[in-house]
A and B are shown apart, each in its own frame.
Chain A
Amino acid sequence: MKRIEHINLAGFAFQIDEDAAQRLRRYLDAIHKAVDQPAESAEVVEDVEARLVELFNTTLLDKREVVSIEHVEKAIAVLGEPEEFSLKSENEASEKTSSESEAMEKGPRRLHRNPDDKIFGGVSGGLAAYFGIDPILIRIGFIVSLFAGFGFLLYLILWIAMPKAKTIAQKLEMRGLAANVGNIRKFVQGEQQTRGQSGPDSRTRYSGAKKTGALAEAGEFISQLFLLAIKAVGRLIGWMMVAFGIFALIVVFAWLTGTIDTSAGRIGASELHAFLSRSSDHPSELWILYAGFVLLLVIPALYALAVLIRTVLKLPKLDLRLKAGVLVCMIAGGVLLGLGLSSAAADWREEDSISTVVALDPEQTSWRLETTSSEGLSSDIKLEIEDEEFRMILAGDSLAVGWVDVSIESSGSEPGSILTTIDARGSSEKNARENARSVSHPIEISDSVIRLPALYGIPSNQAFRMQRVRHLIRLPEGSIVTIGAEAAAILGHSSNNSLLSEDEMAGHRWKVGPEGLECLDCTPEELEADPFESRAHSTDSTSQTSVDLRKRSAESTPGLVFSAQPQHSEEERLRIRPIPGLSIFSRLVQKIDAYGTLSAFR
């Protein structure tokens, strides 16, 4: 693709390619200078322009066709090079320019390393040519800055950034001279002249004579090695970018289409956004994370897609600047994600819990445990996660979390009570306790019925901070508990000595005994269920320690780590149990890692 310019030649409008326009401009400029009588040059240029219109019109097939560099070259072939406009012979012309070197046409200045005037990499020589000053001044500057500490790095960066002036055109550009035929010829002549003259003092400003020594040769060798290494690293980075981009493509595709099917439910972009906005106090934090996500994953994904398509279609490779841009985006994205996550993590840093005790009527000896299941949640469900241990429903503005754990144990001869512990995380321990306090989890006790909500609410102005509710129901030995059918879902860690799982405990009457709960109305079949199937095997006889049934199932399998686990005292248990703290996140991540990405392609 080329940019075009609109130009006016002798009153005729043309669309012309940028490079062709540049060539034409230089050509007309050169004619203006070449005409021997300055007074005549304006009229000559006018005539030439009028003739150019004719020439273009005869070569262009269509009024709309764009004048290309070929058209311009053809026209110049008819009209002749600018030197033809002068009647002086070529020798005279070059004599004139070698005596008055300023006569070389000016052009755009470009920074190049000067291979003809160098001590090490030609950086100083290039800078000197660029600014039109003596390279010795630049070299002194570098040596001074070397002692200031940044000189070496500066030199290295410039070395990498500045391309070496290899062609004569580049050598001319390095000095801010137009790279046209006339200048090139003059330059080459100047070079030959300087070569003819011997002695180091004859270096003219346009000298092309090489000033190289052993140091420069060593420098050249090192620079070659250096470039080679940079190229290798660049290629490696390129491959890594594509590999990362393909990975990002899969992740982005999976997340945007919401096809990740975890056991906790489908989690797509909208669900994730709903969850994240409910767990962040600062909206800006969220947008930083998203920006990071886009920069780190979406852009490389698009990049990988482009690379793959181009490879398949055998299109030319992408521009290096684009690749560098993608790399910069990825780095920026990584930084943003890191900032966002560390800012978010600060809100989750500390963990603490609050406990409340509700005394139970000592007169009651028979209890019934029920759960209140349905809470007034709106039907606008944005997110629903359900898992063995964890439930989360985000409907409208209200967040309901089912992360309740109920244990029943013997209090011996003491009166019964319910110890409710709410764990939460926060930016500080105080903040964590505040977050725990915000949880609304009403316990209803009427006569002999204990009602515990299966889901607890977190107020809409309160962010989710992994609030978790645990109830420890302590009943005097000999009390009878009937566990409602619904209550099984929240019944986590009650030890019973009848080899039954939580699900199987529901709907039965239990007696609080010294070694746990004893079933009063279980049928022999239920009791004789396969211990491995029911995953329960009573080994501990201490009634006060309620051991996680899942742990026990592990203990029943020889060789597992849990078998060596020491028993904890009550206090220790309270402190250790909340540790599944970050589990919901780690589990989410694990699940997505393990099969979430794969399930996207199911």
Chain B
Amino acid sequence: MAPENSSAQMRKGVLELCILAALDRAPSYVPDLIVEFQNAGLKVVEGTLYPLLTRLKNAELLTYQWEESRSGPPRKYYRLTERGKSALLESRSSWKELVHSVETLLQPIEN
């Protein structure tokens, strides 16, 4: 596999965190997540989420259950597993630290 560079890693990391956070609030399926992301001002298309959800599910951070739908096949409603919940907890604090550090560094130099 080709080595992935840092920007991809970062994007992936951020989006994964966002997914975990959103699913912590309520189990949802992809269009719900998109709405939530858009409300938060995050521009993501559905396509980006499918591979991430699959990967998180394979990593056993997420699980899903089928729900019947009137407009098509059953929908996958994702929710956090226990592992997912603890991962979110960890990530949340490390994210805050990261943001703080980055914010500090991004401060324009005064004086």
Q: Mark A67-94, 1 if CB is under 8 A from B, else 0.
A: 0000000000011111011111100100
| Docked-complex contact A40 and B55, CB < 8 angstroms | yes
Indicate which residue in A48, A54, A87 contacts B8 across the interface (CB closer than 8 Å).
A87
Identify A79's interface contact among B47, B54, B71, CB under 8 A: B47
B73 x A89 contact (CB < 8 A): no
Contact A89 B54 (CB under 8 A): no
Binding site for B on A (CB under 8 A): 10-12, 31, 35-37, 40-41, 43-44, 47-48, 50-51, 53-54, 57-58, 78-82, 84-89, 92, 96
Bound Cα distance A80, B15 (Å): 16
When the two chains form their complex, are residues A80 and B2 in contact, meaning their CB atoms are under 8 A apart?
no
Check A47 against B76 for contact (C-beta < 8 Å): yes
- Are B71 and A54 interface neighbours, CB within 8 A? yes
- On whether the beta carbons of A78 and B45 are closer than 8 Å, the reply is yes
| In the complex, the 8 A-B pairs of residues with the closest C-beta atoms, listed nearest first | A80-B45, A80-B47, A53-B72, A54-B72, A84-B47, A40-B54, A44-B50, A10-B73
Whose C-beta in chain B lies nearest to the C-beta of A48?
B50
Contact with A87, one of B11, B31, B46, B69 (Cβ below 8 angstroms): B11
The proximity string for B residues 40-56 relative to A, scoring 1 for CB distances below 8 Å and 0 otherwise, is 00000111101111110
Contact A37 B72 (CB under 8 A): no
Contact residue among B8, B31, B54, B69 (Cβ-Cβ distance under 8 Å from A88):
B8
In the assembled complex, the Cα of A50 lies from the Cα of B66 at a distance in Å of 12
**Contacts across chains A and B counted by CB atoms under 8 Å:** 82
Q: B93 on the interface (CB 8 Å rule)?
A: no
Find out whether the CB atom of B8 lies under 8 angstroms from the CB atom of A43.
no
Contact indicator A35/B71 (Cβ below 8 Å) = no
Q: Does B22 count as interface, using CB distance less than 8 angstroms?
A: no
Question: Chain B interface (Cβ within 8 Å of chain A)?
Answer: 2, 4-5, 7-8, 11-12, 15, 30-31, 45-48, 50-55, 58, 69, 71-76
Q: In the complex, which residue of chain B has the Cβ closest to the Cβ of A100? A: B2
How many Å from the CB of B34 to the closest CB on chain A?
8
A99 to B7, CA, bound (A): 20
Q: Is the interface of B mostly helix, strand, loop or mixed?
A: helix
Instruction: Please classify the interface of chain A as helix (H, G, I), strand (E, B), loop, or mixed, using the class held by over half of its residues.
Output: helix
Are B55 and A37 in contact, with the CB atoms below 8 A?
Answer: yes
Q: Which residue of B lies closest to A47 (CB)?
A: B50
Q: Is the pair A84, B48 in contact by a Cβ cutoff of 8 Å?
A: yes
A36 vs B9: C-alpha distance when bound (angstroms)? 12
19 other A-B residue contacts (CB within 8 Å) besides A12-B73, A44-B50, A86-B51: A10-B73, A36-B4, A47-B53, A50-B73, A50-B75, A51-B31, A53-B73, A54-B72, A54-B75, A57-B71, A78-B46, A79-B45, A80-B45, A80-B46, A84-B45, A85-B48, A87-B15, A89-B5, A92-B5
CB nearest neighbor in B for A96: B2
- B47 close to A31 (CB less than 8 A): yes
**Are the C-beta atoms of A85 and B72 separated by less than 8 Å?**
no
The answer to whether B45 and A51 have CB atoms under 8 Å apart is no
Name the one of A31, A57, A81 contacting B72, with C-beta atoms under 8 angstroms: A57
B67 to chain A minimum Cβ distance, whole angstroms, is: 12
Minimum CB–CB distance for A95 against chain B, Å: 9
Nearest-neighbor residue (CB-CB) of B13 within chain A: A87
Using A44-B54, A87-B12, A88-B4 as known contacts, say yes or no to A80 and B48 having CB atoms under 8 A apart: yes
